[in-house]
Structures are given as C-alpha cells and as structure tokens.
Structure 1
C-alpha cells in the first residue's frame, strides 16, 4: 500500500494516537449514562470522535492521490515553542494572578508566535476572550476560578 499524502498520513496517525490515549485516560472517571453523564463521559466521547476522524484522514491519505505526495515540511519551532511556553505560563499564573490577568497575558504571549502581530488586534482579542472565559466558566458553569490576585480578595 502506497502513502499518497504524507501530511494526511501523519496527521491521521496523530489523531488516532491522541484519541486512544485520551480515551484510556477518560476511563479513570465515572461515565454515568446519556441522561446523567459523569465526568468521563464527554472526554471519552470526544476522544472517540477524534480517533474516528483520524481513521478518516488516514484512509484519505492512502486512497486519494496528491501532487508530489504532499510531503511534510520543516517543523515551525518558534510558534510551537512560544505556544507551549504560553500555556505553561498561563498554568502557573492563573491560580496566583486570577483569570482577568492570566488570560490577557496568555493571549499577548501566544500572539508573538504569528507573523502578523498588531497590538490593537491582540488587545481586542484579549478583552473578548477574557470576558468569554469568565462568562462560560465562572458565570455559566459556576466553576470556582480565582478572578483576581489573592491580595485583592475574591
């Protein structure tokens, strides 16, 4: 069997492996049922969907011909490292500085990974995503997430 698209082949394998890995991780939580899903229900469902999507992409890579085999290019290290570092910094800052400071710091940091950095767009994104995060997680889901640094109280 000949691989007709290297990019799709590797992407399909990655989706399948990540989906299987998260499916196994989700089994550590209670599943519940469709009427009353437990904490492991949604992650398991998403991981199965991801693995199925990976199978579709993998099948496509083996059946649909692409020009030149669609080779994998060089790894974009700078955006990859900036994105990973931004997520780590967010994880460290969020419990200490709160949602209203950590999310904008995350957005500004990760914006440096792209080639088209414009402050007005970055600041607008930071405001919109911070308000959206508060609306979904604090207001909508009633999660106990610190909003401000602990020196300002809750």
Structure 2
C-alpha cells in the first residue's frame, strides 16, 4: 500500500498541481477584460497561458494513468522506485537564484552563461562544447528579445 501511495504521489500529483495552477490562473484572469484576437485585453494572455498549462497538466495525468495501468497489469512487478532526483532540482534552483542575483550586477549575457553552467551540473554526462554553444545562443537570443526587443532595463554586459 505504501508503494502505491508513493507511486500516486510521484506520478499523479505533479499533473494535478499543474492543472490546479492553470485553473487558478484562469479564474484570476476572468476578472480582467478579455478583448479579442485583434485587440487583446489584459486578461487574454493569462487565459491563454492558463489553458496551455491546464492542457499540459492533463497530458501529464494521462501519461501517469497509462503508466499506472501498465504497472498494474504486471502483478509480479515489485520494482523499487528510484530515489528523488535532488541534484537536478537543486542545480536548477541554484542556477535561477544566481541568475536573479547577478543579472543587474554583471549583465544579461554573463548571468545567462552562469545560469547554463550551474544547471549543467544537474546532468551526470555533459558535453561542455554543446553547453557553451547553448549558453551563447541563449545569451544572444535573450539579449535580442528582452533587451532590444522588449526594452527591459538591463544591459548585455556590466551593471544596469
């Protein structure tokens, strides 16, 4: 019974949380004018995000249900569940935190490269050349979109 509860929590709970988050965002966005496709109001994009998030959560739930049925069909299967992947979670959180703390001090490009480098430690096997190319692309594309395209008050290099 404990294995079943652990399985349900680790497979169904993430999907349920994503669906619940999507529904909550949708409920909040209903308080704003929607507008239309040609003139979207302030509630339009949150509603689109909420619908996409809910669909993603439903997909996760469907995948968990299929996996649960396949697991239930094999009655002799007592395979132990792998331990929780703490390393990727901690590396991702640390990378985002370092990015948030450094983006205004050292600039968008170096902070983005730090983010990619720190999150790379989540993988046990990594290609530093591929990561360098990804970091370069993310830094340049992010600079184009966020600094020059959207006009965020950040600099590409150096303090803002």
TM-score range with shorter-chain normalisation?
A: 0.7 to 0.9
Farther-moved stretch of structure 1 (136-145 vs 109-118): 136-145
Q: Does the aligned pair in 1 maintain the 2:147–2:155 contact within 8 Å?
A: no
Matched, 1:135 2:139: no
Matched, 1:13 2:16: yes
Query: How do 1:4-153 residues align onto structure 2 when only pairs under 5 Å count?
Result: 6=8, 8-24=11-27, 26=29, 31-58=34-61, 61-62=64-65, 65-68=69-72, 73-150=82-159
Residues 99 and 13 of structure 1: CA distance in aligned 2, closer, same or farther (over 3 Å)? same
Farther-moved stretch of structure 1 (40-49 vs 18-27): 18-27
How many residues end up aligned between the 2 structures?
A: 149
Farther-moved stretch of structure 1 (103-112 vs 36-45): 36-45
1: CA distance, partners of 2:35 / 2:104: 30
Q: Where does structure 2 lack aligned partners over 5 or more consecutive residues? A: 74-78
Structure 1 vs Structure 2 CA RMSD: 3.2
1: CA distance, partners of 2:88 / 2:116: 13
1: CA distance, partners of 2:65 / 2:145: 40
What whole-Å deviation, never above 9, does each CA across 1:95-117 have from its counterpart, x for those lacking one? 22111111001111110111112
Q: Where does structure 1 lack aligned partners over 5 or more consecutive residues? A: none
